[in-house]
């Protein structure tokens, strides 16, 4: 049977899913302007922090991590879950982590690669799969590659971004968010980095044990790039899943990915 068909999927926002074993010991992972909150405290809307360019609620953390999630695997198994889908786990500045600063690095707030492997091994041992959130349309302004492109006018990484005087900030942003820098996916070297090469982002996490990808704003990535990304994922790991966020009528989109979803 193909696990990608008919599975029960459980979505997890790691920071808010299960409390860590020792919150105070992890406080250094959340330096100002980030704030770390007691698990019983409800989230509240924050003010816009002009200095860093984020809303306060984007920098509020509750400290959930991969070990605390791992402790809930028996609960998920009891629910009959087949696939655990994690919202972004790579290094980022915000709590939502859709602003990657390093795609191949697990955010220390969530634990270590040993924690990741332990979680994967346990899920696989119970016959479950793990799907990660791939945010390949944009990255965070603090991303080291973007900062290199900003600082060095001769950097070959400039080709990865839309830069020029026609953009108010000197670069193209996504969703009018100053901290989300849109990627220029037409750049061949960027495609190599994100999905094509054996050490690409897609390949790296699949080799670490992930079983597939949910692609953020896949509709904005477009048919040709999605087709290439899906083919690459299947090449890197046979039987892996690529499902994309698509808000339009699905037929053609399902020809370039294994499936689609939206947030209705």
Start-to-end C-alpha separation, the chain: 29
- 216 in catalytic set: yes
DSSP characters for 133-173? EE--SEEETT-HHHHHHHH-TT-GGGGGB-BSTTSTTSB-E
Query: What's the rounded Cα separation, in Å, for the pair 248 and 187?
Result: 26
- 115 in catalytic set: no
Among 58, 133, 245, 258, the one annotated catalytic:
245
Query: What's the rounded Cα separation, in Å, for the pair 20 and 110?
Result: 10
> 149 φ, ψ to 5°?
-65, -35
Locate 220 and state its tokens: 């904005």
> 175 φ, ψ to 5°?
60, 25
Q: Which residues pair with 5 in a beta bridge?
A: none
Number of H helices, E strands in the chain: 8, 15
Among 216, 220, 238, 258, the one annotated catalytic:
216
Instruction: List active site positions.
Output: 216, 245
């Amino acid at each position: 049977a193909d696990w990608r068909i008919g599975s029960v999927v459980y979505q997890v926002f790691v920071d808010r899913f299960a409390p860590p074993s020792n919150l105070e010991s992890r406080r250094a992972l959340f330096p100002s302007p980030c704030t770390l909150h007691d698990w019983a405290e409800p989230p509240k809307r924050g003010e816009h922090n002009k200095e860093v360019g984020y809303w306060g609620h984007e920098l509020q953390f509750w400290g959930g991590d991969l070990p605390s999630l791992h402790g809930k695997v028996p609960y998920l198994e009891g629910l009959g879950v087949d696939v655990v889908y994690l919202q972004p786990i790579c290094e980022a500045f915000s709590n939502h982590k859709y602003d990657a600063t390093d795609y191949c690095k697990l955010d220390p707030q969530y634990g270590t690669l040993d924690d990741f492997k332990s979680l994967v091994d346990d899920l696989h041992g119970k016959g479950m799969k793990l799907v990660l959130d791939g945010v390949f349309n944009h990255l965070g302004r603090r991303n080291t590659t973007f900062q290199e492109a900003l600082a060095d006018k001769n950097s070959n990484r400039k080709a990865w971004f839309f830069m020029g005087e026609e953009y108010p900030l000197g670069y193209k942003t996504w969703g009018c968010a100053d901290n989300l820098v849109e990627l220029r996916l037409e750049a061949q070297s960027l495609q190599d980095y994100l999905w094509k090469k054996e050490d690409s982002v897609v390949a790296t996490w699949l080799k670490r044990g992930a079983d597939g990808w949910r692609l953020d704003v896949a509709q904005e990535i477009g048919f040709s790039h999605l087709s290439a990304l899906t083919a690459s994922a299947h090449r890197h790991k046979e039987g892996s899943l690529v499902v994309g966020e698509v808000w339009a009528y699905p037929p053609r989109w399902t020809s370039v990915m294994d499936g689609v979803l939206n947030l209705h």
